Chain A
Amino acid sequence: MRLIGWWARRVASAAATLTLVSILIFAASRLMPGGFAEVVLGPFATPEQQAEVSARYGLDRGVVEQYGLWLAAVLRGDLGTSMISGEPVTVEFLLRMPVTVELTLLGVAAAAVIGVPLGIVTAVRAGGRGGAAGRLAGGIGVSVPEFVLGSLVVFVFSRFALGLTIGGYRPLDEDVGANLRSIVLPAAVLAFFAVAVTARTTRDAVMGVLVEPYITAAVARGDSPFTIVVRHVLRNAAMPVLVVLTTITAYLLGGAVIVEYLFNLPGVGSYVVAAVGRRDYAVVQAGVLLAAAVFVVLNMLVDAATGVLDPRLGSAGEAR
């Protein structure tokens, strides 16, 4: 009962969040200076041409009405039509999703598989030489901006290709090998930062757990460091790490724009950014809303995990 109530509340607030996002993105896209007509039709377009295009996409209506129509369409599952390509936005996004999803999965996987252990090791070894080295490594990870690392990688691997592709994307279902060769470098660039961030947050969380007496108790029982980490540290330190991993997921799903640009990957991020540049409103709005939806769902799961991970937080009834 309580659980159903919790989810109902959570879904309602997710809906509210998305509504707010939709209003904000709609407002922001209309607040951007320069309209679709000027941008896409260019300076040479006649007023009649501009009016015709405006009418075609309903841009001549009142802003509130436009928003209403858009929202109604979205609720029907119609994200609109790209004013640039004339294709349904849904189709455009579906075409670009594979790249983004693949990058996201690889990036998050790296963060989880490399970043979390790295953070644990640097925390467990804190104070020692290994800890300092880990701190430096993690520090370097967050210090090298994506565009610097990306440029470097592009540069280096364009000279010494090593069989890896720079620029361009080969779909997974077309050729797995080629796909991996085209995605591994950009994924590595993204992972670099993701791993470092995850490692640092993990370190912080784990160090917070290591001072707890139940860790001493576990040590006293003669449990191995590995056992202790697996049994006690992971779960108790999980929350912040989970939050960071969600953020990374959201960030990557929202589009790793710079990396997509650098490696010329047809992903969602650069598509939306290009759409912002050209005031292709339907695409911008849909892009942000989709990212937001994914994120809100992720967050809902994380919030649900909170109660599971820390049973103390689940209990109610305390007066405050």
Chain B
Amino acid sequence: MTWIRGLDRLSLAGLAVLALLVGAALAGTLLGVGGAQDAIVGPRLAPPDGQWPLGTDQLGRSMLPRVLAGIGTTLLLSAVAVAVTATASTLLGLVAGYRGGWVGEVVLRGVDVLYAFPTIVLAILVAAVLGPGRSATLASIVLVTVPLMTRLVKVAAETVARRDFVTSALISGASHRYVLARHVLPNVAGTVAVQGTYALSVGILVEGGLSFLGFGVQPPASSLGALIQQGGIYLLAAPWLLVWPGMVLVAAVLAITVFGDGLRDRLEPRDSRALK
């Protein structure tokens, strides 16, 4: 856990917020805090009070368990998706940037193909072909986020691959796999950290966007994107529909983002030079 030590205060705050959210999601799904998220329990659009701490939604369901479940769904979905994206993009980007040649060309073109599909159209096609729901959302997020990350990892890997320390390792007889794992990967890790957290926010956005267009998680399951999408229109009449999930979502992405930036800085052992 030594890496935590090197983080700055902002990143630690981000990490704390994330931990809090994960805790809340677990409380909701495992401990059943707030009751069943899909049960119609009260009047529609009731404001927060003792009985429904966060109010009720447009079907008269308590918002508390829905928000908690939404955190769980969204975090899990995007985390899994980003893990997949990060792994895939890193592998592909390393191959394209380090190996180069026709293999790299093929990888890049393959990624370009995905890239070439307009984001939402791609997501919708995936949802339409796979049938909407979690797996389609997951696949969409991955397909949408892989290209950018792959390209950026490629750019970073390309530069690293020309450095003398890679040459040295190769002279030592290091396998390409060794070089990739020990030299190139750590040197692109900052990029992966930044892009990974970016992908996470894109993932959340795609999830929400799909919900917005009706291709997201299936009702009555709850996700932050779906909650926000459905609550958006009630901004004035029943603000609690939008405010809770909105705040949580923004907090989550913000936490992830500052944490990612902090991680990136942490992964850079050299001092940055103040230009002053």
Count of interface residues, chain A, beta-carbon cutoff 8 Å? 78
B275/A240 in contact, CB under 8 A: no
Q: A126-B272, A292-B116 are in contact. Are A254 and B121 (CB under 8 A)?
A: yes
Report if A28 contacts B (CB, 8 A): yes
Let me know if A295 and B115 touch, CB within 8 A. yes
Given contacts A211-B270, A244-B148, contact A273 B124 (CB under 8 A): yes
Is there an interface contact between A312 and B254, defined as CB atoms closer than 8 Å?
no
How far is B213's CA from A210's CA once the two chains are assembled, in angstroms?
43
Contact assessment for A258 and B120 in the assembled complex, using a CB-CB cutoff below 8 Å: yes
Q: Find chain B residues with CB under 8 A from A177 CB.
A: none
Chain B residues, Cβ within 8 Å of A123 = 272
Query: B38-54: which have CB < 8 Å to A?
Result: none
Give the residues in chain A near B198, CB-CB below 8 Å. 142, 197, 200-201
- Asked if B194 and A200 make an inter-chain contact with CB atoms under 8 angstroms apart, the answer reads yes
Instruction: Given A13-B109, A32-B128, verify A210-B273 contact (CB < 8 Å).
Output: yes
B118 engages A291 (CB within 8 Å): yes
Residues of A within 8 A of B128 (CB): 28, 32-33, 276
Q: Which applies to chain A's interface (DSSP): helix, strand, loop or mixed?
A: helix
Least CB distance from B122 to A in Å reads: 8
**B152 part of interface (Cβ distance < 8 Å):** yes
C-alpha spacing A152/B172, complex, angstroms: 59
Q: How large is the interface on B (under 10, 10 to 19, 20 to 34, 35 or more residues)?
A: 35 or more
Please, how many angstroms separate the alpha-carbon atoms of A273 and B271 in the complex? Answer: 48
Known: A31-B129, A243-B155, A273-B124. A312 touches B162 (CB 8 A): yes
| Stretch from A16-24, A46-54, A57-65, A91-99 that touches the partner | A16-24
Give the contacts of B99-137 with A (CB-CB under 8 A).
99-100, 105, 109-110, 112-113, 115-121, 124-125, 128-129, 131
- Which B residue's beta carbon lies closest to that of A248? B148
Stretch at the interface among B19-27, B82-90, B203-211: B203-211
Contacts of B95 in A (CB 8 A): none
Q: Which residues of A contact B116 (CB under 8 A)?
A: 17-18, 21, 250, 288, 291-292, 295-296
Q: Which residues of A contact B186 (CB under 8 A)?
A: none
A145 with B113, Cβ < 8 A, contacts A203-B261, A251-B119, A257-B120 known: no
- List residues of chain B with CB within 8 A of the CB of A18: 116
Q: B117, A313: Cβ atoms under 8 Å?
A: no
Interface check A264, CB cutoff 8 A:
no
What chain B residues lie within 8 Å of A287 (beta carbons)? Answer: 118, 121
- A299 interface residue per 8 A CB criterion: yes
Q: Distance (Å) between the CB of A40 and the closest chain B CB?
A: 16
Closest Cβ–Cβ distance, residue B21 to chain A (whole Å): 13
B213 surroundings in chain A (CB, below 8 A): 257-258, 273
Which A residues touch B174, using CB under 8 A?
Answer: none
Measured CB to CB, the residues of B under 8 A from A are 8, 10, 99-100, 105, 109-110, 112-113, 115-121, 124-125, 128-129, 131, 147-148, 151-152, 155-156, 158-159, 162, 170, 190-191, 194-195, 198, 201, 204-205, 208-209, 212-213, 225, 228-229, 232-233, 235-236, 242, 246, 249-254, 257-258, 261, 264-265, 268, 270-276
Would you mind naming 25 contact pairs between A and B with Cβ atoms under 8 Å apart?
A: A20-B110, A25-B117, A25-B125, A28-B128, A32-B129, A127-B272, A135-B257, A139-B257, A143-B250, A143-B251, A145-B205, A147-B208, A151-B233, A151-B235, A204-B261, A210-B272, A210-B275, A228-B275, A239-B155, A255-B118, A276-B121, A287-B118, A288-B117, A288-B121, A320-B100
